[in-house]
């Protein structure tokens, strides 16, 4: 066996270790490259970024490059879990690490400037931000350049329709925001959906920026501002307790049919979004306002979900896989297109209803009456 064959065999062994089976940066399965500068395994997309950073540039292909015994030894002593623990230790708690799922594949190399971001971040003040973003018009669906200002002092995100406007078009309280990357829904690789509450009703805005770096920085700024407010609101809470409240991806989105409160109305197809305990529905995935919203509490407080529709339901829809949700006030009837969708929604509803409610969630439940459009 030559030295190179021996090195290749050992390298295979190192790859089997926990953490090394997915890219250290973006989490994509089966990384194709190794960084001999850092001792981490990364995907081809992320390797481009490593190559572009001086000092981190020593990247090799696992399959095609010649590996020295000493390099394999280096990889073996380090590896993804150990090295990320070191490099990510300094990241602020609000910092969201983008994954390969957040962005379209083609744009991933640009996004993965996060390695640089990670290194610069602790030195940068991410508190407030002022800049232009493309925002989807509510009525015509056209994206237009709008000025956005995030102010940590006011705890608000504002946007203006004209550059020199004195009065903002909207003032969004930072503590009501959820934000998540939605490249497919928005039709842009850097698409970000911002969801917030106004007059107790969920509102959406859809934005993007041509630079993925810009959009990730806006996203992290919103998280930073929110964490600041959460710390004020819950002085005793630890970072670990607060982190799940920061902007997060929705648990599930998709179409179902629903009937109205009297359950004699026809079933209508609606777009549903499950954001932890809030099940919202929209006529169209890109609607600005939710047509309605259902709060999902713990089963001990009268919340239940069952498969199928109650016997005798006057069913007028086209989909046959029913789901019934009971709340203390009433029941909601839904139908899914396939049994796979039905099972998937069921497992999410069950997971939420099996999770104990926090004291804040009780308050939220009282504040947030269920509302229903159609
Ligand atoms: Zn990667």
Summarize pLDDT for 194-209 with one digit per residue, the tens.
999 887 788 999 999 9
Calculate how far, in angstroms, residue 155's C-alpha sits from the geometric centre of ligand 1. 34
Calculate how far, in angstroms, residue 48's C-alpha sits from the geometric centre of ligand 1. 10
- Helix (H) / strand (E) element for 206: namely strand 201-208
Residue-wise pLDDT tens digits, 62-102: 988 999 888 999 899 889 998 887 777 667 777 777 777 77
Residue-wise pLDDT tens digits, 131-166: 999 999 988 889 999 999 998 778 899 999 887 888
Calculate how far, in angstroms, residue 24's C-alpha sits from the geometric centre of ligand 1. 7
Q: What is the arithmetic mean of pLDDT over 299-325?
A: 89
Sequence-ordered list of residues with C-beta below 8 angstroms from that of 134, at least 6 positions apart, any chain: 143, 144, 145, 146, 188, 207, 208, 209, 210
Calculate how far, in angstroms, residue 116's C-alpha sits from the geometric centre of ligand 1. 14
- Helix (H) / strand (E) element for 366: namely helix 359-367
Residue-wise pLDDT tens digits, 284-309: 999 999 999 999 999 999 999 999 99
Q: Is the pLDDT of residue 334 over 90?
A: yes
Residue-wise pLDDT tens digits, 19-64: 999 999 888 899 999 998 888 999 988 888 788 776 667 899 998 8
Buried b (16+ CB within 10 A) or exposed e, 351-364: ebbeeebeeebeeb
Q: How confident is the model at residue 109 (pLDDT cuts 50, 70, 90)?
A: very low
Structural domains of the chain in order of their starting residue, each with its CATH number: 3-89 (1.10.220.150), 119-242 (2.30.29.30), 252-372 (2.30.29.30)
| Residue scoring higher pLDDT (212 or 18) | 18
Calculate how far, in angstroms, residue 170's C-alpha sits from the geometric centre of ligand 1. 37
Per-residue pLDDT at 104: 54
Q: How confident is the model at residue 269 (pLDDT cuts 50, 70, 90)?
A: very high
Per-residue pLDDT at 232: 77
Calculate how far, in angstroms, residue 106's C-alpha sits from the geometric centre of ligand 1. 12
Calculate how far, in angstroms, residue 26's C-alpha sits from the geometric centre of ligand 1. 4
């Amino acid at each position: 066996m030559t030295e190179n064959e021996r090195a290749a065999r050992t390298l295979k062994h190192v790859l089997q270790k926990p953490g090394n089976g997915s890219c250290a940066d973006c989490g994509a399965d089966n990384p194709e490259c190794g960084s001999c500068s850092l001792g981490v395994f990364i995907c081809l997309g992320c390797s481009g970024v490593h190559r572009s950073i001086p000092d981190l540039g020593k990247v090799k292909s696992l399959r095609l490059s010649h590996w020295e015994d000493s390099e394999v030894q280096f990889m073996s002593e380090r590896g993804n879990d150990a090295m990320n623990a070191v490099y990510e230790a300094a990241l602020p708690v609000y910092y969201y690490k983008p994954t390969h799922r957040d962005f379209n594949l083609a744009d991933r190399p640009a996004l993965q400037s996060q390695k640089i971001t990670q290194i610069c971040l602790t030195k940068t003040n991410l508190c407030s931000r002022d800049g232009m973003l493309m925002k989807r018009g509510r009525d015509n669906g056209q994206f237009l350049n709008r000025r956005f200002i995030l102010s940590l002092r006011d705890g608000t995100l504002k946007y203006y329709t004209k550059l020199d406007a004195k009065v903002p078009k909207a003032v969004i309280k930072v503590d009501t925001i959820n934000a998540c990357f939605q490249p497919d829904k928005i039709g842009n690789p850097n698409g970000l959906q911002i969801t917030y509450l106004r007059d107790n009703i969920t509102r959406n805005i859809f934005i993007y920026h041509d630079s993925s770096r810009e959009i990730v920085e806006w996203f992290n700024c919103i998280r930073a501002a929110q964490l600041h407010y959460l710390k004020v609101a819950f002085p005793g809470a630890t970072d670990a307790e607060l982190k799940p409240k920061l902007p997060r991806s929705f648990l599930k989105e998709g179409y179902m049919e629903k009937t109205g409160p009297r359950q004699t109305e026809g079933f209508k197809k609606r777009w549903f979004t499950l954001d932890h305990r809030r099940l919202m529905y929209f006529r169209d995935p890109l609607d600005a306002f939710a047509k309605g919203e259902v709060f999902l509490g713990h089963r001990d407080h009268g919340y239940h979900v069952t498969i199928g529709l109650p016997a005798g339901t006057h069913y007028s829809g086209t989909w046959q896989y029913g789901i019934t949700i009971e709340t203390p006030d009433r029941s909601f009837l839904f139908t899914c297109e396939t049994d796979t969708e039905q099972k998937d929604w069921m497992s999410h509803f069950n997971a939420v209803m099996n999770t104990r409610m926090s004291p804040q969630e009780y308050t939220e439940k009282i504040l947030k009456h269920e509302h229903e459009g159609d």
